[in-house]
């Protein structure tokens, strides 16, 4: 059995505006968010605490979004380039969160996946599909 994270290091880092670690309430996960090049944005989810090595959430990785559903959702979201595009295609988001970025969540387009949208700067927006 794996050890669970019991330290508060990730919470402390997520609350420090000078550290690129954030807690994403939509997915209940910690993530390292960074921009390595202009107009490129990356999110690395943390399954384990870098400080104590403990597991920080229960992973659902063993159950992936089925290929057919993934194709359908990619087709639905493929032309979305801005928040305005997302609202036109997906409707009003079910949830909006503001941290180092603005994130949006649409839960009602799939029984298996959540559509996440991230606005880094005005005009810089990307879509991510997350398993429910």
Instruction: Please check whether residues 28 and 77 belong to one and the same domain.
Output: no
Q: What is the 3-state secondary structure (H, E, C) of 29-67?
A: EEEEEECCCCCCCEEEEECECCCCCCECCCCCCCCCCCH
7 vs 86, higher pLDDT:
86
H runs (alpha helix) in 37-77:
67-77
Q: What is this structure's pTM?
A: 0.53
pLDDT digits (tens, 9 = 90+) for 110-129: 988 888 888 877 777 878 78
Same domain, 24 and 78: no
Mean pLDDT, the chain, whole residue set: 80
- What are the tokens at 54? 């403990």
What is the tally of structural domains in the chain? 2
Q: Distance between CA atoms of 96 and 37, rounded to whole angstroms?
A: 26
Cα dihedral 26→105→77→65 (10° resolution) = 40
Identify which has the larger pLDDT, 59 or 124. 124
Q: 115: alpha, beta or left, given left = phi > 0 and alpha = psi -120 to 50?
A: beta
pLDDT band at 92 (very low <50, low <70, confident <90, very high): very high
How many residues are present in the chain?
132
| 38/80 same-domain check | no
Whether residues 103 and 71 fall in one domain: yes
Host domain of residue 21 = 1-59
> What pLDDT is attached to residue 51?
84
Residue 85 shares a structural domain with residue 105: yes
77 and 116 in a single domain? The answer is: yes
54 and 71 together in one domain:
no
pLDDT at 24: 77
Q: First CA to last CA across the chain, in angstroms?
A: 24
């Amino acid at each position: 059995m794996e050890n669970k994270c019991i330290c508060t290091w990730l919470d402390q880092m997520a609350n420090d505006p000078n550290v690129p670690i954030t807690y994403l309430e939509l997915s209940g996960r910690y993530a390292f968010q960074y921009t390595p090049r202009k107009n490129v944005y990356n999110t690395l989810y943390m399954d384990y605490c870098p400080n104590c090595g403990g597991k920080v959430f229960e992973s659902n990785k063993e159950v992936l979004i089925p290929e057919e559903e993934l194709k359908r959702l990619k087709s639905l979201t493929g032309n979305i380039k801005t928040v305005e595009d997302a609202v036109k295609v997906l409707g009003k988001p079910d949830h909006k969160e503001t941290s180092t970025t603005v994130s949006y969540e649409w839960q009602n387009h799939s029984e298996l996946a959540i559509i996440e949208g991230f606005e880094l700067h005005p005009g810089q927006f990307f879509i991510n599909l997350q398993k429910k």
